[in-house]
Amino acid sequence: MKKYFMYLLIVFILFGCQNTSISEDERRLDTFFKEVLNLDISIFDKKVIVFISGNCGACTDKTIKFLKRVGEDKKTFAEYHKIVVIPENNAYVLDSLKSLDINFYIQESYVLDKYGVNFPKNLFFDFKHNNLVFREWLSQESIDSVAKRYDITL
């Protein structure tokens, strides 16, 4: 009987430890969009979300160029819902991209901090079928590899 109980306990522990929940990033994003923007992002099958950092100098010309290509793209990102979240102090990004097929949301930094989505660098998320398939910083060091992944020429 003791052996049976131990086996049963091990099975419960193994099934209980499986990671079936969404990642912390996904949970924070979902909470932020639902509570602050009243937007249920789960209704979009494919989506690209970019958080622009509030840090000065984070938006390089390459980042702006990459976002322009994403907004103009009729092949890779044609079926995507494109979202860019910008801190209130970044009019440069908004002015550079406002004519594209991108939905912009402007938020105050303290609200982004409260929900854990005010990142130190620009951050790119790619979701397919409500699963996070790719996440990468859009920094000087990584922007070329992100563009290459999506066949975007900078």
* Mean pLDDT estimate for the chain: 81
Residue 42 per-residue DSSP state: G
Round to whole Å and give the CA distance between 134 and 57.
24
Q: Tens digits of per-residue pLDDT, 14-43?
A: 455 444 445 777 788 888 899 998 999 889
The residue ranges of every structural domain in the chain are 24-149
For β-strands 81-87 and 103-107, DSSP reports them as parallel
Structure tokens at 105: 């949301």
Q: What does the pLDDT read at residue 28?
A: 83
**How far is it, in rounded angstroms, from Cα 42 to Cα 50?**
16
Pick from 58, 53, 50, 63: which is nearest to 119 by CA?
A: 53
Instruction: For domain 24-149, give the CATH superfamily.
Output: Glutaredoxin (3.40.30.10)
Per-residue pLDDT, averaged over 38-56, amounts to 86
Percentage above 70 pLDDT, the chain: 82
Band (124; pLDDT cuts 50, 70, 90): very high
Mean pLDDT of 72-97: 86
pLDDT of residue 19: 46
